[in-house]
Structure 1
Amino acid sequence: MLVTGAAGRIGLVTVQRLTELGALVTALSNVEHPDLKADRVVIGDTRSEADVADALTGVEYVVHLAALAHPSAGTPYDVYTINVVSTFNVLAQAGARGIRRAVIASSINATGIPFNPHGIRPAYFPLDEKIPADVGDAYSLSKQNDENTARMAWRTWGIDVVAFRFPHVNSPDVLARRAEGARRDPRGGLREAWSYLDTRDAAYAIELGLTASSSGAHTFFVAADTTNAPYETEALLDAFAPDVPRLRRFVGREVPIDLTAARTVLGFRARHELDLPTLHLEI
């Protein structure tokens, strides 16, 4: 099992999870990390054909998490090229070697909505895998093209790929602090649908993606079932997106993202949610 970006926020937890399940894990990282415990650690660059070839030695499955994970993580050129070239390099080499399955980190930002400089809002709620994209930044474009690369790799080499559109993923303490921010000012969470995911649930989703029986290249939204704002979802949408169409109503703090595909195909449901009261929203 190869995990790229193994020293990252999701990578560290994923390596730990897979190791605990008995997998032999090769970790590919561009930096050393004292908490990175794998059977083999390769320090290298996911854009390098030689480094990726070395890391893929003896590997049967791939988890590709390496990326610059925010538009501000580098210049637009760096963010786009590092992310897109890395994903192509990893999937192309894995597919050419006959590796049958990979999981990659896409993002809710593949929609282009959260970081869009023009202040757009979703076309409708709940967000789903078919929602129209409107991309206005290099990071979101890179995630959109990572999903395209997954489809190309499957068509070319027959490697099955699961791409997860992760929301904001973090540790419980950081998620709790963000929830406090959403309590004080919930408006800012609109374009991400007030969604979040615990790193442990991200690793769990990856586990399910690796063991799924589905074939092809598939994209799934994954998130906690509830929002990170202590207000009813209908109240939030009434206040901040009254003119955005709703395809259905939402119960309590239900996250306005359609998680049906991940639930039915993969059996995924988040296990770690924020314990928040439901308050009255006052604007």
Structure 2
Amino acid sequence: MTEGDLTGRRVLVTGATGRIGSVLVRHLNELGALVTTLSNQADPDLKADRVLVGDTRAEADVANALEGVEYVVHLAAIAHRDAGTPYDVYSTNVVSTFNVLAQAGAAGIRRAVVASSINAYGVPMNHHDVAPAYFPLDERIPVDIDDWYSLSKQNDENTARMACRHWGINVVSLRFPHVHSPEALLGQSEWYRKDPVQGMREGWAYLDSRDAARVIELGLTRPVEGAHVVFAAASTTNAPYRTEELLEAFAPRVPKLRRFVGREVPMDLTVARTLLGFQASYELDLPTLNLPAGST
């Protein structure tokens, strides 16, 4: 398979009406893919070759959606710890991922991309006074989970490894940071300007929705074998301060494995570059300000 080779290929996108899904469907349409969508609600603005409304937890709905499919993108999930009861968030996410990957693997589909999350390592939503084990964040960072959403994303990655081992389906699990439109990301940047400590556990990382669509495309089309976890983010932070100053102020006891230049994101993006050939194209053009004196 060569990069970008999706013309005429049928791709299932679950969660297609969501923030990433709606942008991805447009992107895949532009690439000439035949897109099947499976969402839990109708959206009159959603344009795809085959539009389905159903539940990714339901065996029959997923089996119907997988008809004729060659590639799967699984985005459907309850996307936050507080967007439902702990039972609903955890059970919805893990059952959906298992159902989609198990049926895809059993059907002989050989490539899937799953939306994991930066929260899969547990620290960002942790209720305790914890910090990352080190910076830059990477795919091997120790896990410290105390919430059901983060646990669901960690177990989604486990499901991907199981499905790969059992059925031979190659899966890329993308650990997304905050993904949104440029306007919303600018709003978050203003929040971090006023209260930068809020972004420390995520390394002030972000990704434009258009770049999320692009990295998903690469996850489908690059010659990747096995089950892989990949951090995907912009190369700069969403805070208008120098990264070294932010870390010194808000994570002074966290080991730094290297130094950071300017607003460089304290996240190791090597796997995204080497495995998928991905580098973000849409980055915020922010001024670099001096961190106010006394910031802690």
Shift of 1:214: 1.5
Q: Does the residue aligned with 2:137 lie in a helix, a strand or coil?
A: coil
- Whether 1:22 aligns to 2:51 is no
Give the total of aligned pairs.
283
Q: Residue 57 of structure 1 corresponds to which residue in structure 2?
A: 67
Q: Residue 230 of structure 2 corresponds to which residue in structure 1?
A: 220
Q: Residue 240 of structure 1 corresponds to which residue in structure 2?
A: 250
What is the TM-score with the length of structure 2 in the denominator? 0.95
Provide the C-alpha distance between the structure 1 equivalents of 2:91 and 2:46, rounded to a whole number of angstroms. 26
Equivalent position amino acid for 2:129 in 1: G
List alignment gaps of at least 5 residues for structure 1: none
Provide the C-alpha distance between the structure 2 equivalents of 1:65 and 1:236, rounded to a whole number of angstroms. 32
Shift of 1:275: 0.7
Query: What do residues 84-117 of structure 1 show as CA deviations (whole Å, max 9, x unaligned)?
Result: 0000000000000000100000000000011000
Provide the C-alpha distance between the structure 1 equivalents of 2:39 and 2:170, rounded to a whole number of angstroms. 23
Q: Residue 42 of structure 1 corresponds to which residue in structure 2?
A: 52
Provide the C-alpha distance between the structure 2 equivalents of 1:79 and 1:154, rounded to a whole number of angstroms. 24
**Displacement over 4 Å in runs of 4+:** none
- Whether 1:139 aligns to 2:149 is yes
The equivalent position to 1:4 in structure 2, one of 1, 14, 18, is 14
Q: Residue 187 of structure 1 corresponds to which residue in structure 2?
A: 197
Equivalent position amino acid for 1:3 in 2: V
Provide the C-alpha distance between the structure 2 equivalents of 1:229 and 1:7, rounded to a whole number of angstroms. 29
Q: Residue 108 of structure 2 corresponds to which residue in structure 1?
A: 98
Shift of 1:119: 2.2
The equivalent position to 1:125 in structure 2, one of 123, 135, 148, is 135
What is the TM-score with the length of structure 1 in the denominator? 0.99
Provide the C-alpha distance between the structure 2 equivalents of 1:269 and 1:231, rounded to a whole number of angstroms. 22
Provide the C-alpha distance between the structure 2 equivalents of 1:230 and 1:16, rounded to a whole number of angstroms. 31
Equivalent position amino acid for 2:27 in 1: R
Q: Residue 166 of structure 2 corresponds to which residue in structure 1?
A: 156
Provide the C-alpha distance between the structure 1 equivalents of 2:44 and 2:23, rounded to a whole number of angstroms. 13
Provide the C-alpha distance between the structure 2 equivalents of 1:111 and 1:146, rounded to a whole number of angstroms. 12
- Whether 1:253 aligns to 2:237 is no
Query: What do residues 148-168 of structure 1 show as CA deviations (whole Å, max 9, x unaligned)?
Result: 000000000000000000000
The equivalent position to 2:79 in structure 1, one of 69, 75, 83, is 69
Query: What do residues 227-259 of structure 1 show as CA deviations (whole Å, max 9, x unaligned)?
Result: 000000000000001110000000000000000
Query: What do residues 191-238 of structure 1 show as CA deviations (whole Å, max 9, x unaligned)?
Result: 111000000000000000000101000000000000000000000000
CA RMSD of aligned residues (A): 0.5
Q: Residue 80 of structure 1 corresponds to which residue in structure 2?
A: 90
- Whether 1:32 aligns to 2:42 is yes
List alignment gaps of at least 5 residues for structure 2: 1-10
Provide the C-alpha distance between the structure 2 equivalents of 1:6 and 1:119, rounded to a whole number of angstroms. 36
Provide the C-alpha distance between the structure 2 equivalents of 1:34 and 1:203, rounded to a whole number of angstroms. 21
Q: Does the residue aligned with 2:171 lie in a helix, a strand or coil?
A: strand
Provide the C-alpha distance between the structure 2 equivalents of 1:29 and 1:81, rounded to a whole number of angstroms. 17
Q: Residue 271 of structure 1 corresponds to which residue in structure 2?
A: 281
Provide the C-alpha distance between the structure 2 equivalents of 1:33 and 1:7, rounded to a whole number of angstroms. 7
Shift of 1:62: 0.2
Percentage of matched positions with identical amino acids: 72
Shift of 1:185: 1.0
Provide the C-alpha distance between the structure 1 equivalents of 2:149 and 2:29, rounded to a whole number of angstroms. 30
Provide the C-alpha distance between the structure 2 equivalents of 1:84 and 1:70, rounded to a whole number of angstroms. 14
Q: Residue 3 of structure 2 corresponds to which residue in structure 1?
A: none
Provide the C-alpha distance between the structure 2 equivalents of 1:188 and 1:196, rounded to a whole number of angstroms. 13
Shift of 1:263: 0.4
Query: What do residues 24-45 of structure 1 show as CA deviations (whole Å, max 9, x unaligned)?
Result: 0000000011221100011000
Provide the C-alpha distance between the structure 1 equivalents of 2:219 and 2:45, rounded to a whole number of angstroms. 24
Q: Does the residue aligned with 1:104 lie in a helix, a strand or coil?
A: strand
